């Protein structure tokens, strides 16, 4: 049985550094016509980014999956042409206009989950249009997914981890209606994550006992990786193109380990417990299995808290002011927090992502156990860092 592809999300360049050792492919947008408008990769940077992705042995998939209006057609044509020049491995699209542009330019394309492909006939239709793969609707059950795979000859991709939307395939109009920011153009204001109340026609508020009754928990299928592999799913996708590099590193690593463990015949309940603990340490709203085993009930909603409940948090400590390659050391200006030997840190910049424990600290060439806020300290780094990189402390979150 062919091993499924693991696809990781990309917010910016540091995301690539975070997942390069675990993912088989990455998906990302540029600075327009994508469902996550705050992409850290520009169209101008596209050739360089794709080249680096390929250098790491990963496939590069460009999302071009927002609603496309008349005034956007020329922009879409330009992006597809630039993607072709950059040797992007595939586009992730759904608008018929963009499909036609991709076909004309002979750029491979996948059908985005925005198309809401929910049956094998739809999958067959898109295959006839030239699609290499369909990203199935998140509202499909595992049984339905198996049926699509059995009755079609096209690659299928599903989300295995990350945020769930309360709207079908993410096609929400609430954000545009309430805030003038279209979720379908990449500008979701996430009204479903806010506190709501019910009222009757006379304006009387009705108590429902819960606060965030539209805020879905995140999907987490790591426990069921064996079942997903047996279902014949070709690509496992991690949601999170707006998440930081730490989230991308942890989710990519855990799912890589889970997939490999299945093929090594070492997949176990003990490992699942460890992976879930690690996944809980980064951004999450609580976990559920989404629609894989049927329509989720109250257990799929995060009623009492709409935001992050991760067990750890990143706290900005300071900035790298200089790096000495021969000594593998850097000077860090501690503008915000003190650090001490044994602390776990993350260094993150546009092109940097490293995570390590502090093993030594020097101030003015003297070894110390701690560097106080407002001081400049020398630290040995496991990998090169750059001037301006941010240094974060990783600490247990206080509940």
Give the CATH number, domain containing residue 270. Answer: 3.20.20.70
Q: What is the pLDDT of residues 12-58, one digit of tens each?
A: 999 999 999 999 999 999 988 776 655 689 999 999 999 999 999 99
Residue 19 lies in a domain: yes
Q: What is the pLDDT of residues 351-364, one digit of tens each?
A: 999 999 999 999 99
Of the residues 270, 295, 320, the one at which a domain ends: 295
Residues 50 and 80 in one domain: yes
Total domain count, the chain: 2
Residues 240 and 329 in one domain: no
CA atoms within 13 A on the CB side of 291: 20
Domain span holding position 341 = 312-396
**pTM greater than the 0.85 cutoff:** yes
Contacts 24+ apart (CB under 8 A), 44-52: 46/82, 46/83, 46/86, 46/88, 47/82, 47/85, 47/86, 49/13, 49/16, 49/86, 50/86, 50/87, 50/88, 51/86, 51/87, 52/16
Q: What is the pLDDT of residues 113-164, one digit of tens each?
A: 999 999 999 999 999 999 999 999 999 999 999 999 999 999 999 999 999 8
- E-assigned strand segments in 166-282: 198-199, 205-206, 218-220, 235-238
Residues 249 and 381 in one domain: no
Residues 255 and 375 in one domain: no
């Amino acid at each position: 049985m062919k091993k499924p592809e693991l696809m990781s999300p990309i917010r910016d360049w540091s995301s690539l550094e975070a997942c390069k050792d675990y993912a088989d492919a990455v998906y990302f947008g540029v600075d327009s016509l994508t469902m996550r408008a705050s992409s850290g990769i520009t169209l101008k940077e596209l050739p360089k980014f794709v080249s680096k992705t390929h250098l790491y042995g990963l496939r590069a998939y460009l999302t071009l999956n927002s609603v496309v209006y008349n005034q956007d057609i020329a922009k879409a044509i330009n992006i597809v042409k630039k993607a072709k020049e950059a040797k992007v491995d595939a586009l992730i699209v759904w608008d018929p206009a963009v499909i036609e542009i991709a076909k004309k330019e002979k750029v491979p394309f996948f059908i985005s989950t925005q198309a809401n492909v929910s049956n094998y006939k739809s999958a067959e239709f898109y295959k006839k249009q030239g699609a290499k793969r369909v990203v199935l609707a998140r509202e499909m059950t595992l049984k339905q997914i198996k049926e699509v795979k059995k009755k079609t000859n096209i690659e299928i991709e599903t989300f295995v981890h990350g945020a769930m939307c309360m709207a079908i395939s993410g096609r929400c109009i609430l954000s545009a209606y309430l805030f003038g920011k279209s979720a379908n153009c990449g500008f979701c204001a996430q009204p479903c994550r806010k506190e709501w109340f019910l009222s009757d026609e006379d304006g009387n508020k009705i108590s429902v006992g819960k606060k965030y009754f539209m805020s879905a928990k995140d999907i987490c299928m790591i426990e069921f990786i064996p079942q997903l592999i047996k279902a014949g799913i070709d690509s496992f996708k991690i949601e999170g193109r707006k998440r930081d590099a730490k989230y991308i590193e942890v989710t990519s690593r855990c799912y890589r380990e889970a997939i490999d463990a299945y093929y090594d015949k070492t997949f176990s309940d003990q490992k699942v417990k460890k992976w879930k603990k690690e996944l809980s340490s980064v951004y999450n709203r609580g976990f559920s299995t989404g629609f894989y085993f049927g329509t989720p009930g109250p257990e799929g909603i995060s009623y009492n808290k709409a935001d992050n409940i991760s067990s750890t948090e990143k706290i900005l400590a300071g900035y790298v002011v200089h790096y000495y390659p021969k000594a593998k050391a850097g000077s860090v200006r501690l503008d915000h927090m003190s650090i001490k030997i044994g602390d776990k840190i993350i260094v993150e910049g546009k092109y940097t992502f490293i995570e390590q424990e502090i093993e030594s600290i020097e101030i003015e060439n003297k070894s110390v156990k701690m560097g106080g806020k407002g001081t400049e300290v020398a630290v040995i780094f496991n990998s090169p860092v750059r001037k301006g990189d941010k240094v974060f402390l990783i600490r247990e979150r206080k509940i």
